[in-house]
């Protein structure tokens, strides 16, 4: 038995060697193709699809790296991606909202990009709030897809009809100008803000709080919104008064989303609106707006002791641990990320495309000096004012792993104060307590 064993082993070994050799010989013509076909998996929400596809085609032509592109609706994107990550779906690069960064990073679904110096080199030329919005626990997690900030937009024609030659500088002036417009019977509700429970709500609120010189959460991650000096108290008081006392803002604001604000303003039923700056193009486009040419941008009005600050947000390209686990895949993903979020053929081609085609904002400061960019923005707004406002934008301070959960109860408390169901102080104390509870739970 013992003597037979080596022989059997040798036989087996010889057989398996022959089989392996034959298999390898058969597989050889396909091996190269199989490696080349191992594409980078890139997931986005369903926006700028044509632009992405065209830019991807150019990338593959230039580098020979294939990319498998997929997209899903923004409304369900976060849930879709979480389900995919949980189920172990192969994803290498994806669009990420700054709101989800901590929870994605903490769950181990995103990998830092600090090791790719070709990517972090772009930070120097990018707006500070953009870079800060892509950082979590001291590490950078991506490169710009697009960025923008909440802009204060006004209908100059209606304002002029009411006898005002300048837009409001402060929230107090917003109240007085809106009251005058209402008194003249020009509009029932001159102020149209979106306070519906939707993803934009936190941006609307943060913009107002920042302009009141405050914050919702301090640098240490502690909720300060209930503090009388935080800016949130004066912001919510202003909103509640605007609805209930001055009646310049419709009580319907609590069911008005960002899109409804845009529609109302486009129909000429609003003088003062808070909207993402890129919406200015739609408002001044004759094909999409009944009041084209009438809307202007002003710096955010200031609250008591506040400034013209606003909130900026970031949508960025993130890389997964799966991508960096393999050196070649990691390098190819970094190349793809640079192609989209950085320079492609020595220019910020994709960021420019997004601006020219869709009016989406950019984080690269130098693009404000680009003649093509200036011509495009100048067609519907004041380019220098846009750049000035962008320089005053700050990242959202409420971004934490528990943000999604907190935002729900925060929105409810905020709405209850606006509708007069609870007081301002009680609503903010409730929201602050919820923050503390979730922070403690981690």
Partner 1 sequence: MQRITHDERAAFGLLAPLALVLMAVTAFPILYSLWISLFAVNLRRPARQPFVGLDNYVHVLGDPQFLESVGRTALFSAMSVSAVLVIATLVAVLLDQEFPGRRILSACLLIPWAIPSVANGLMWKWIYDANYGALNGLLMQLGFITQGMVWLGDAGRTIPLIANAFIWKEVPLAAILLLVTLKGIPADLYAAAQVDGAPAWRRFLHVTLPALRPGFLLVALYELLMAVRHFDLFFLLTEGGPGGASDVLAWRIYVETFRNLSFGTGAAMSYLLAIATLAMSYALIRSMAQKL
Per-residue x/- track, 384-423, partner 1 (CB under 8 A): -----------------xx-xx--xx-xxx-xx-xx-xx-
Residue with tokens 């036989």: 11
Read off the tokens for 205. Answer: 């609120």
Region of 151 on the Ramachandran plot (φ > 0 left; ψ -120 to 50 alpha; else beta): beta
CB 196 to partner 1: min, Å: 6
Selected binder of partner 1 within 108, 163, 293, 305 (CB under 8 A): 108
Read off the tokens for 405. Answer: 């959960």
Read off the tokens for 338. Answer: 């640079």
Selected binder of partner 1 within 60, 70, 72, 106 (CB under 8 A): 106
Stretch that binds partner 1, among 5-13, 105-113, 141-149, 382-390 (CB under 8 A): 105-113
Q: Does 328 help bind partner 1 (rule: CB under 8 A)?
A: no
CB 43 to partner 1: min, Å: 17
Which residues, 211 to 270, sit near partner 1 by CB under 8 A?
250-256, 260, 263-264, 267, 269
- Taking alpha carbons only, the member of 197, 195, 216 closest to residue 206 is 216
Q: Does 186 help bind partner 1 (rule: CB under 8 A)?
A: no
CB 294 to partner 1: min, Å: 17
N residues, the chain: 442
Nearer to partner 1, 29 or 185 (CB): 185
Question: Rounded CA gap, 292 and 288, in Å?
Answer: 8
Question: Rounded CA gap, 217 and 224, in Å?
Answer: 5
CB 103 to partner 1: min, Å: 5
Q: Does 196 help bind partner 1 (rule: CB under 8 A)?
A: yes
Question: Rounded CA gap, 118 and 125, in Å?
Answer: 13
CB 236 to partner 1: min, Å: 13
Nearer to partner 1, 250 or 294 (CB): 250
CB 277 to partner 1: min, Å: 22
CB 261 to partner 1: min, Å: 9
Phi and psi at 34, nearest 5°, equal -60, -40
Q: Does 279 help bind partner 1 (rule: CB under 8 A)?
A: no
129: CB partners within 8 A, 6+ apart: 147, 149, 312, 314, 393, 394, 395
DSSP-based three-state secondary structure for 225? coil
Selected binder of partner 1 within 39, 82, 180, 392 (CB under 8 A): 82
- Taking alpha carbons only, the member of 49, 252, 297, 11 closest to residue 149 is 297
First to last CA, the chain: 63
CB 352 to partner 1: min, Å: 35
Any idea what DSSP says for residue 6?
A: H
Residue with tokens 């991508």: 323
Binding site for partner 1 (CB under 8 A): 79, 82-83, 85-86, 103, 106-108, 188, 192, 196-198, 250-256, 260, 263-264, 267, 269, 401-402, 404-405, 408-409, 411-413, 415-416, 418-419, 421-422, 442
């Amino acid at each position: 038995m013992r003597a037979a064993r080596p022989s059997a082993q040798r036989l087996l070994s010889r057989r398996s060697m022959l089989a392996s050799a034959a298999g390898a010989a058969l597989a050889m013509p396909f091996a190269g193709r199989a490696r080349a076909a191992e594409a980078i998996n890139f997931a986005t929400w369903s926006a700028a699809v044509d632009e992405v596809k065209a830019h991807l085609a150019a990338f593959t032509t230039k580098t020979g790296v294939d990319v498998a592109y997929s997209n899903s609706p923004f409304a369900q994107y976060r849930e879709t991606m979480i389900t995919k990550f949980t189920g172990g779906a192969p994803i290498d690069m994806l669009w990420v909202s700054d709101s989800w960064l901590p929870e994605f990073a903490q769950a181990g679904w995103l990998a830092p990009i600090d090791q790719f110096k070709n990517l972090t080199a772009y930070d120097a030329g990018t707006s500070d709030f953009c870079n800060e919005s892509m950082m979590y626990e001291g590490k950078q997690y991506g490169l710009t897809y697009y960025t923008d900030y909440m802009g204060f937009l006004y209908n100059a024609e209606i304002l002029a009809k009411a006898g005002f030659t300048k837009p409001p500088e402060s929230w107090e002036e917003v109240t007085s100008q809106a009251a005058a417009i209402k008194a003249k019977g020009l509009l029932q509700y001159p102020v149209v803000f979106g306070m519906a429970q939707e993803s934009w709500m936190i941006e609307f609120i943060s913009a107002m709080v920042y302009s009141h010189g405050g914050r919702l959460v301090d640098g240490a991650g502690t909720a300060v919104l209930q503090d009388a000096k935080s800016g949130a108290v004066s912001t919510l008081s202003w909103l509640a008064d605007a609805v209930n006392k001055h009646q310049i803002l419709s009580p319907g604001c609590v069911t008005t989303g960002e899109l409804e604000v845009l529609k109302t303003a486009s129909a000429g039923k609003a003088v003062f609106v808070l909207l993402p700056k890129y919406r200015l193009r739609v408002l001044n486009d004759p094909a999409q707006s009944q009041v084209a040419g009438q809307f202007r941008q002003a710096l955010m009005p200031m609250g008591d002791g506040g400034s013209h600050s606003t909130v900026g947000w970031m949508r960025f390209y993130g890389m997964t641990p799966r991508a960096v686990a393999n050196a070649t895949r990691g390098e190819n993903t970094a190349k793809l990320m640079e192609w989209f979020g950085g320079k492609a053929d020595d220019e910020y081609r994709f960021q420019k495309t997004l601006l020219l085609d869709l009016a989406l904002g950019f984080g690269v400061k130098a693009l404000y000096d680009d003649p093509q960019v200036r011509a495009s923005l100048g067609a519907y707004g004041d380019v220098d004012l846009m750049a000035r406002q962008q320089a005053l934008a700050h990242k959202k301070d409420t971004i934490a792993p528990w943000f999604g959960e907190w935002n729900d109860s925060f929105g409810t408390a905020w709405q209850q104060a606006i509708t007069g169901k609870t007081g301002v102080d009680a609503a903010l104390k409730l929201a602050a307590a919820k923050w503390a509870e979730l922070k403690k739970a981690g």
